Amino acid sequence: MTERLETLKRARQRMIEDRDAFAKILAAPFDRSTAERSRNKFVETQVLIDAIDRAIAGELASGDQQG
């Protein structure tokens, strides 16, 4: 596996951990200001995870074309 692909996978794992932390805040008793910020960060982090998934898929596809 290429170093680039490994880096993307590590980044994805880190973002999943961050997303999980925001989810825990959202699952806790409601605090409007905390929940609002966490909701926004959760969505932002999920968008980033989706982008990383596309980058990983691109790396895998380019590896298939090379080999």
More confident residue, 12 or 65: 12
User: Is residue 67's pLDDT more than 60?
Assistant: no
Q: What is the pLDDT of residue 63?
A: 81
pTM: 0.87
How many residues does this entry show for the chain?
67
Question: pLDDT tens, 6-58?
Answer: 999 999 999 999 999 999 999 999 899 899 999 999 999 999 999 999 999 99
Q: What is the pLDDT of residue 33?
A: 87
Q: What is the pLDDT of residue 5?
A: 96
